[in-house]
Structure 1
Amino acid sequence: MSFDLFKINEDHEAIREAVRAVAEEQIAPHAAEADEREEFPKASYDALVASDFHAPHVPEQYGGAGADALATCIVIEEVARVCASSSLIPAVNKLGSMPLILAANEEVKAKYLPPLASGEAGFSYGLSERDAGSDTASMRCRATPSGDDWILNGQKSWITNAGFSEYYTVLAVTDPEGRRGANVSAFVVEKSDPGFSFGAKEKKLGIKGSPTRELLFDQVRIPGDRMVGEPGQGLKIALRTLDHTRVTIAAQAVGIAQGALDHALGYVKERKQFGKHIADFQGIQFMLADMAMAVETARQMVYTAAAKSERGDDDLSFFGAAAKCHASDVAMSVTTDAVQLLGGYGYTRDFPLERMMRDAKITQIYEGTNQIQRVVMARQLLKD
């Protein structure tokens, strides 16, 4: 394994400063409302599009900002610091379009990446199914050849920003008799395609401002030129995609944890008990030190994995899984401790910490549960 370090440069710091201003001034004021109403944060989307932070990863040749993987993680981290639901806008846009960037031909890239870069369209990712979550190779969604086209039938579950996004990268079995895992292909599905619809919005514990719905396919005709990569290469493309995008979920987790720590610090410096600020109690100080240490170690792992994503290092699978696993565990731990530090107030909606704690939980689950991340890491270690 290579342990080459990342390097934060002046451009990265400028991006952090710019996105933090957008997040605090234009996204944070709507975060509680988006959670309470379980509505997509359109104000956040508009603010991110206006500042070119909604899909910063899209290459410049397709009209994007061309941000590297580290810069994209910084954007997601800073948005998640105030609103996890809003941070899924740049994160899921990368997840949905990464298969195209990795494997699509030039015609597909030229058709779908520019609308994403301009903010005209969002991009989601359809891999999981009701009975094919961690075991993605057992998917039942089928794409049957029909002349030069494909007929898509089946469903996908737990799809982030479903219904809002205009485009979807969907994985389907194209060779039912083929070898398991090597019989899946990837396609771009458009929201307007006849026969394509959405299930009801899931009622969730957290990230309530980001709609999660099923994708339903009933005889959906997909032109053959919308295939991403080669036939039978879909699952390989999907797993390569996750190697890169698990790093963005790790960045989201770091942002949530940092936001919780910031609020806890502000509170303990003001709150008084027994005649002095509770920040003066050594037990509180030790908690804060442990929280900050955990956040910073997670951040360093995320940035290292982001640098490996940018370079396409051979050990990205390990580092992406490790960053996602560790950062999400940190987010859950730090938000729980932050709620504890506020006592009864932390348990109320008057403060954002209960929302952050609820939002943190999903980072341990989506894009592969943390149990699966440990499987990925172990396989990489044993392979090496």
Structure 2
Amino acid sequence: MMSDTEFTALRTEIAEWVAGPGEEWSQRIESSGAVPQELVDELRGHGWMSLAAPEELGGRGVGFERFLELMEYFSRLHASIRMLVHVNNGIWRALVDYVDDQQREQILIPTVKGDKRIAFTLTEADSGTGADIRTTLRREGDVYYMNGEKHLITFGMTCDYWLLTARLEGTTGHDGTVALLVPNTGLPGVELIDDSQTMGIAGTDHAIMHFHDVPVPVSARVGQEGQGLAVALGGFLLPSRISVAMSCVGLAERAQQLAVEYAQQRVTFGKPLAKRQAIQFLLARNHASILAARSLVLEAGRGYQAGRPDAGALSSAAKMTAVDMLAEVTDNALQVFGGRGYFKRETIERVYRDARAQRFEEGTNEIQSLIVARSVLDGTARYADDVPVA
């Protein structure tokens, strides 16, 4: 367990890197459209790809609430840097309770250390991201034959393994779902399509996959048949949703910082923008919204860490609140810049585009609203540990 002194030193180290080398990397990624391997090596060398995992897996054992504070800093940078740190510090949770000894040693621990990369592979173009998945498996002896498709696979082109969820032919719902660790080694029948031309998050690769009777050994399965969605959803998505919410906070803080700096420098009719009440109101509203969302995100982090029964609803409430806040703050920040902010030479232009991704990452606000509403109506939602909603 990391001591308070050690954590303070770590947070200071990251904050200084974010303000210096991290910003230089951000500019390089945006101009080149690629994440250099040297950056990945640097993040790994600092131990920042291994922050959240327990020490027995090779991680640094940073508690979840404290990890959120570190994500707040990383999220002020280019979205691809945030994505690298976010995914690698969370994917282990999906696997830790289900992998066998060989998978643990050969895949999980190297992933925690940052030596390997796993791409979360659940979403499909013509179905949702849960019990309605359509990618199928046909078992013949010790081999599954996979057919179907996946899309929106972050790091799907460059990963070492896909953590892939499919279902046994003829099954419905959660029954028959299977999780597989499939190596990205040119398996026969896999059509891998680069789909990396996105509005924002330049440099993070994305993939579409089509499967045509792809042979996958049963030994690649994670957990048992019928546990596929438990692997995919149980350990990963809930804390990941909170981490994405904190990424909204960090990026909003960066937008606010840029807007404040510009308002203080820009002079119109002999007066800095910062002296104009209309601009002051925008900045004040931004500040209040950021603080409110940050408090809820940290509360959700504490709820998850404590295993509270309303942790799922808290995580969804935090994400939907933080996403709406980020949209408002980045829009206000761009308004402060006026037409100048619309040009790519300004960092706020990149921040504005990157902010749109969180609107659907780890589930849209429409989905989060359904989760929160269900919790409110079934009585599990709380305003505090001992105060029910109704």
Instruction: Say yes or no: TM over 0.5.
Output: yes
Task: Tell me the CA shift for residue 329 of structure 1.
Answer: 1.4
Change over 3 Å in CA distance of 1:140–1:167 after alignment to 2:
same
Matched residue, 1:165 = 159
What's the C-alpha RMSD, in Å, of the aligned pairs? 2.0
1:271-290 aligned within 5 A: 271-290=266-285
Question: 1:201: which partner in 2?
Answer: 195
Pairwise CA distance, 1:377: 0.8
Q: Indicate whether 1:183 and 2:176 are aligned.
A: yes
Cα distance in 2 between the residues matched to 1:311 and 1:26: 35
User: Contact 2:50/2:58 (CA < 8 Å) preserved in 1?
Assistant: no
| Aligned partners of 1:171 and 1:186 also within 8 Å | yes
2:131/2:172 contact within 8 Å kept: no
| Map of 1:81 onto structure 2 | 76
Q: 1:19: how far off?
A: 1.5
CA deviations 1:63-102 (Å, max 9, x no partner) are 1222221233233221110211110002122453321024
User: Does the Cα contact within 8 Å between 1:247 and 1:305 map onto a contact in 2?
Assistant: yes
For structure 1, which segment, 32-41 or 303-312, has the greater mean C-alpha deviation from structure 2 after superposition?
32-41
Q: Does the CA contact (< 8 Å) of 2:110 and 2:116 recur in 1? A: yes
Could you say which residue in structure 2 is the equivalent of 1:147? 141
Q: 1:73 to 1:220 in 2, by over 3 A?
A: farther
Counterpart amino acid of residue 113 in structure 1: L
Task: Specify the code of the residue in structure 1 equivalent to 2:362.
Answer: E
Structure 1 match to 2:123: 128
Over 3 Å counting, the alpha-carbon distance change for 1:257 and 1:298 in structure 2 is same
SS in 2 for 1:199: strand
Paired AA for residue 187 in structure 1:
L
> Residue type of the partner of 1:194?
L
Are the equivalent residues in 2 in contact too, given 1:184–1:232 (CA < 8 A)?
yes
Corresponding position of 1:3: none
CA contact (8 A) 2:196 2:204 kept: no
Shift of 1:54: 1.8
Q: For residues 65 and 153 of structure 1, what CA distance do their matches in structure 2 show?
A: 39
- Secondary structure, aligned partner of 2:145: strand
Quick one: distance in 2 between partners of 1:306 and 1:18?
Answer: 22
Cα displacement string for residues 200-234 of structure 1 (whole angstroms, at most 9, x for unaligned residues): 22321111221111133343333323322221121
Instruction: Give me the whole-angstrom Cα distance separating, in 2, the residues matched to 1:372 and 1:145.
Output: 33
Instruction: Give a deviation string over 1:100-129, Cα, whole Å, max 9, x none.
Output: 024334443333222112221112100101
Partner of 2:107: 112
* Residue identity in the other structure for 2:287: A
Matched, 1:304 2:299: yes
Alignment partner, residue 55 of structure 2: 60
Mapped partners of 1:268, 1:345: distance in 2? 12
Counterpart residue number, 1:5: none
Provide the TM-score with structure 1 as the length reference.
0.91
Deviations 1:289-316 (A, max 9, x none): 1101111111111112122222332211
The structure-2 alpha-carbon separation of the partners of 1:361 and 1:293, relative to structure 1 and needing over 3 Å to count, comes to same
Distance 1:211 1:231 in 2: 30
Distance in 1 separating the partners of 2:337 and 2:266: 9
Distance 2:292 2:183 in 1: 40
Corresponding residue of 2:310: 315
- 2:112 is aligned with 1:138: no
Corresponding letter in the other structure for 2:266: R
Indicate the residue corresponding to 1:345 in structure 2. 340
Deviation (angstroms), 1:33: 3.3
CA displacement, residues 42-65 of structure 1 (integer Å, 9 cap, x when unaligned): 343222111111232222112122
CA distance, structure 2, for counterparts of residue 164 and residue 9 of structure 1? 36
Taking the aligned partners of 2:97 and 2:300, their CA distance within structure 1 comes to 18
Q: Secondary structure at the match of 2:43?
A: helix
1:223 aligned residue: 217
Query: 1:284 & 1:9 partners in 2: Cα distance?
Result: 39
Residues 266-275 or 42-51, more deviating: 42-51
Deviation (angstroms), 1:247: 0.8
Match of 2:42, as an amino acid?
A
Partners in 2 of 1:295 and 1:326 — Cα distance? 10
Classify 1:10/1:338 alpha carbon distance in 2 versus 1 (closer, same or farther; 3 Å): farther
- SS of the equivalent of 2:199 reads coil
**Aligned length, in residue pairs:** 375
Moved more, 34-43 or 118-127: 34-43
Alignment pair present for 1:101 and 2:99: no
Give the counterpart letter for 1:215 in structure 2: M
Q: 1:319 to 1:21 in 2, by over 3 A?
A: same
Task: Report deviation, 1:246.
Answer: 0.4
Once the two structures are TM-superposed, the CA of residue 197 in structure 1 deviates from its matched residue by: 4.8
Higher relative contact order (CA 8 A, sep 6+): 1
Structure 1 distance, partners of 2:296, 2:178, is 32
The 3-state SS of whatever aligns with 1:103 is coil
1:324 aligns with 2:319: yes
Q: Does 1:381 align with 2:376?
A: yes
Contact in 2 for aligned 1:158/1:214 (Cα 8 Å): yes
Shift of 1:266: 1.1
C-alpha deviation, 1:264, in angstroms: 0.9
Amino acid corresponding to residue 16 of structure 1 in structure 2: R
Name the residue aligned to 1:4: none
